[in-house]
Structure 1
Amino acid sequence: MELRALLLLTLLGLLFVEPGFGQRVDMDISEWLSDKIELIKNLEDKLKQLETRQNDSEALEAKLNATVDEVTRQKAEVDGLRKENEGLQTRLNATEMEIDKLKQSGAKSAPQIAFSASLANFGEIYRGPCTDKTLIFKRVFSNTGSGYDPDTGIFTAPVNGLYFLSFSTYGYNTHVMGAILMKNGVGQISTYDNPSVDSSDSSSNAVVLQLAAGDKVYMELWDNGRVFDNLNGHTTFSGFLVFPV
């Protein structure tokens, strides 16, 4: 608006100081004014166009500035996300390396030791009463680490560690039913049932023992005891290494 007013004032000034303006008595005043009014309208139209373009330019500049600000903000966010991703990737790589180390360490420090066997490997078997009370479990289901000897019924600990050991016994009412878990000749836990009016009995027990490499674990009958087994696996002996110590 200031530019428009300035131009109009300048034009009017030129009109009224035009040389000979006062001497043109023979000029058609109406025609002259009409020409000048038309000129003023044309100038006003051009001024409006100029103002519109100026406004458009200012709006475009504002949009451009806003776009630049948005691009700058988004670039900062992308840079931040890139740094965060790099940090996450670094931590992920470190975690994967640590897991690999743990796997390798575990594979070295935790040998795989486990066994499971039942008394009878065919038919039916009654064991006891007898002088040699050691139970020999002939039907071997697993023997990882070869710690169990099916010829003697003895499990020998391959390494120092905590071992989980369990057993079950089954028998009839004519004799004491049960057995004792022995460690190097010393009883640890047991199952036991007196002769009774019921026809049969079964029982089980389990323990975690700390064994040194070379310690021997096996099952013994009670005095005058008897157990029974067949291919159904009623009387069993099992164990595995929990972790080395």
Structure 2
Amino acid sequence: MLVWAVIILTANVVVKATSPIPPDNITTNGSQKLATASDCSKPVAFSGTRANIQEGRVILPETLLDQGVGYVASTGIFTTYCPGLYQFSFVGYGDKELRLSLKRKLSKTDSWQPVASTGLGGGSNIVLLRMAVGHQVALFADAGKPDDSTTFSGYRIAKE
């Protein structure tokens, strides 16, 4: 009986020792990165430029600032991992047909809803939004083509 107890305890120790321990600062839920309390105690801010368009969404591959968690330059999407009050701004000019809009997708929904836009030929806008965990924002070109100087920025003003 003692031999079986030793074997079971040894097997349990071996299984626990071989289980990978995730890094302290990154947690995943499926393929989605989740923020830790440490991430959310720091500033969250981003700014991207050098616009190109992919499926109507403006992709800004050159990152001027990426501090904290949430912005993915390759998709142009900011996903909220740290809830709070955020300021988002964008400016863009291009051909005379250009019309830019900031859109938000709430968590657990499939559709992007317009928040703010420019007139024909481009322009700028700035908005304040309360963002909950999982909410996303992105810049879209509803018509026309933006030039390289287009920028999209955001930062958290207050924590929730």
TM-score normalised per structure 1: 0.44
Quote how far apart the aligned CAs of 1:220 are: 1.2
78, 87, 95: which is aligned to 1:172? Answer: 95
Equivalent pairs, count: 117
CA separation of 1:112 and 1:150: change in aligned 2, threshold 3 A: same
Query: Is this contact kept in 1: 2:85–2:159, CA < 8 A?
Result: yes
Unaligned runs of 5+ in 2: 1-37, 106-111
CA distance in 2, matches of 1:108, 1:226: 37
Quote how far apart the aligned CAs of 1:177 are: 1.2
Give the structure with higher Rg (CA): 1
Quote how far apart the aligned CAs of 1:210 are: 0.2
Unaligned runs of 5+ in 1: 1-106, 194-200
CA distance in 1, matches of 2:39, 2:93: 39
122, 125, 138: which is aligned to 1:218? Answer: 138
Whose RCO is larger (CA < 8 A, sep 6+)? Answer: 2
CA distance in 2, matches of 1:109, 1:202: 34
In the TM superposition, structure 1's runs of 4+ consecutive aligned residues that sit over 3 Å from their partners are: 107-110
- Report what 1:238 is aligned to: 153
SS across alignment from 1:165: strand
* Percent pairwise identity: 31
Pairing 1:189–2:109 present: no
TM-score normalised per structure 2: 0.66
Superposed, which structure 2 residues align to 1:1-245 within 5 Å? 110-120=41-51, 127=53, 132-173=55-96, 176-184=97-105, 185-193=112-120, 201-222=121-142, 225-230=143-148, 234-245=149-160
More strand by share: 2
> CA-atom RMSD, angstroms?
2.1
SS across alignment from 1:229: coil
